[in-house]
Amino acid sequence: MAVVAQRIPAEERLMNLVVALMATEIGLTKQQILDNVSGYRQRAGARQDALEKMFERDKDELRALGVPLETIPSASDPKDLRDARYRIPKSEYHLPEDISFTPAELAVLSLAGEVWSSGSLSEDARSGLRKIRALGIDVDEPILGFAPRLTAREAAFAPLQAAIESTRVVAFDYLKPGEESARRRVVEPLALVEYEGRWHVYGRDAGADGDRTFLLSRIVGEVVETGAVFDAAAKEGAGDRALAGLVDVAARQRALVEVTPGSEGALRLLRRAAPAAQGYLVSYVDRHIFADELASYGPEVRVVEPADLRDAVVARLRGALAVHDGSTS
């Protein structure tokens, strides 16, 4: 029975690429990277040109993130990049010598590392290093103390990310607040964006014949690929358009709230609030999600306006009271 390789998330593929390119002084050719770095080598059925385009996008993304990825041309023909090698000089990637950390700062960094990983290279990254070593290229290990694994996401994230990369149209059931049943949506997914701590997918909704933004937490069940494809050019600038749309919605929806000083509600709300004559003005995108948040603060926060938001918060508080009083089953 054939074994289907698990698709590696894009950010883990980028990390594995960084690990591989820091593992050698002489660099790796494009073909060595595609054959040996975890995230590329699993795509056995992918066309060579698709893998090469993926690598080109990854190079651009790493450079945009400030990673000093270096291209070493072939000595025989500097203009021919087919035999060029790529590397990340560790001397340029390390922190400058004049930067130091206090014990408290190091403790925070250590804690952050624990959040991202168990404290060692992932098995996929180790496998990539072993394969590179097998090519006869010297590898200094460990290169990085940890490899990030982001798993605290909605289940829809990974299939949507894969569909965006492969320009595949997807279908999923989406349950909006106030509706009794989910509606089937057929979408060309163009970008995944995070806004105010929540993930959204932005794309063209076939049913609405226009661009829409969907909250991943409201996707019910599995995201499935329909078999149809869309033009990759549609993805250009999609993330910026999605974020601009969310910012615009938030700018048009502002709540006036009163907050108890020194409370958890004050700590979390005031960092994104503006002072007002009576309390604070807080922008929000989704009334239902914001009402959930405000209700969680209990008596620490009171909504002055708008009325529909205040009513939504009161309804949630009354529901919680009824549950604790035993008024509901």
Do both 216 and 191 map to the same domain? yes
Do both 199 and 259 map to the same domain? no
Cβ atoms of residues 292 and 316 within 8 Å = yes
Do both 188 and 79 map to the same domain? no
Q: Is residue 84 part of a domain?
A: yes
Do both 165 and 112 map to the same domain? no
Cα torsion 168, 171, 172, 175: sign: positive
Residue where a domain stops, chosen among 183, 211, 239: 239
Residue where a domain stops, chosen among 179, 209, 239: 239
Confidence check: pLDDT of 152 > 50: no
Do both 165 and 230 map to the same domain? yes
Q: Which domain holds residue 46?
A: 10-134
CATH code, 225:
2.30.30
CA–CA separation, 189 vs 192, rounded Å? Answer: 8
pLDDT given at position 306: 94
SS3 103: helix
How confident is residue 113, by pLDDT bands cut at 50, 70 and 90? Answer: very low
Region 71-89 average pLDDT: 79
Residue where a domain stops, chosen among 98, 119, 134: 134
Region 243-250 average pLDDT: 90
Q: Is residue 141 part of a domain?
A: no
pLDDT digits (tens, 9 = 90+) for 277-306: 889 999 999 999 899 999 999 999 999 999
**Structural domains in the chain (count):** 3
Cβ atoms of residues 203 and 188 within 8 Å = yes
How confident is residue 42, by pLDDT bands cut at 50, 70 and 90? Answer: low
pLDDT given at position 262: 87
pLDDT digits (tens, 9 = 90+) for 172-228: 999 988 788 999 999 999 998 888 778 899 999 998 878 999 999 899 989 999 999
pLDDT digits (tens, 9 = 90+) for 118-132: 433 445 545 555 544
Do both 16 and 99 map to the same domain? yes
pLDDT given at position 105: 65
How confident is residue 97, by pLDDT bands cut at 50, 70 and 90? Answer: low
pLDDT given at position 93: 61
Q: What's the one-letter identity of residue 150?
A: L
